[in-house]
Amino acid sequence: MNQADNKNEPARGLSSRRQLLSLTGGGIALMLCGPLHASGQTAESKRILKHGDRINIGGRGEEIIQKAYELGYEYEKQHGGCARCTVAALQDAISFVVVDESLFRGSTCLDGGATPTETQNCGAFTGAGMVIGYVCGSTRGEEFEGDPRLAHELLHRVYDRFKEEYGTVLCEDVKKGAKADCPKVVARAARWTAEVLLAEFTDDAMPQK
């Protein structure tokens, strides 16, 4: 290596380091952004829905409702946590329910009535409410914006299904009525919520069972 080469070596090293940092930064950006692109979410799945809005689900209503039921059952059976499993099942079954990790994370401590005594609302019911609120609830900028009444109305429809099946939404009583079959409770909550959402926002709603 001649003297001219030696003079250029620091510049080459700096250039190499810059390239490495650029590539590393790109890799980090890809890791951070990759799941967002991979999730297949669209602008349609992220907007706040209002009464009268319609989403085209391609005639897949029955399939979506069944998928919500099956995922709810499997997630609770494998992982536990009725609130988070209800949220996850609805996120993965319904195209216009955004796969938002923050929503899932926020549901983590809400199973078992969110108390040591299981005397409060069933986590599956609470998870259903979190998803419904996310789909059609209010937003927060400088002010609280949006009308929460539709979200309340839809959650009350889910409540009616719990009341019909178990007589209550209270965790300990739901567990008694379900004979401690929590995967089935989550499966039903996911199915009922899917039915309610599809009935409100699509033209492919299936008859409620």
Question: 208 falls in which pLDDT band (50, 70, 90)?
Answer: low
Helix (H, G, I), strand (E, B) or coil at 140: strand
Q: What's the pLDDT score for residue 136?
A: 95
CB 128 within 8 A of CB 158: yes
138 vs 132 pLDDT, higher one: 132
Q: What is the pLDDT of residue 4?
A: 44
Q: What is the model's pTM?
A: 0.76
Residue 118: predicted pLDDT: 78
Beta bridge partners of 144: 140
Q: Please, are residues 158 and 132 in contact by the beta-carbon 8 Å criterion? A: yes
* CA–CA separation, 21 and 27 (whole Å): 10
Residue 79 has pLDDT above 50, yes or no: yes
CA 158 to chain centre: 17
Which residues face 32 on adjacent strands?
none
Average pLDDT over residues 114-142: 91
- Average pLDDT of the chain is 82
Per-residue pLDDT band at 128 (split at 50, 70, 90)? very high
- The two tokens of residue 207 are 């008859």
Q: How many CB atoms lie within 10 A of CB 139?
A: 9
Structural contact between residues 127 and 86, judged by C-beta atoms closer than 8 angstroms? yes
Across the range 167-173, mean pLDDT stands at 96
What mean pLDDT do residues 32-57 have? 64
Determine the pLDDT at residue 63: 97
> CA 106, CA 140: separation in Å to the nearest integer?
17
The confidence band for 114, taking pLDDT boundaries of 50, 70 and 90, is confident
Cα(30)–Cα(20) distance, integer angstroms: 15
d(CA 110, CA 100): 17
Closest CA to 129 of 177, 182, 41, 196: 196
Nearest to 128 by CA among 172, 169, 78, 173: 169
Outline where 51-148 has alpha helix (H): 61-79, 82-93, 101-106, 123-136
Distance separating alpha carbons of residues 122 and 159, to the nearest angstrom: 11
Show me where the domains of the chain are located: 3-38, 45-201
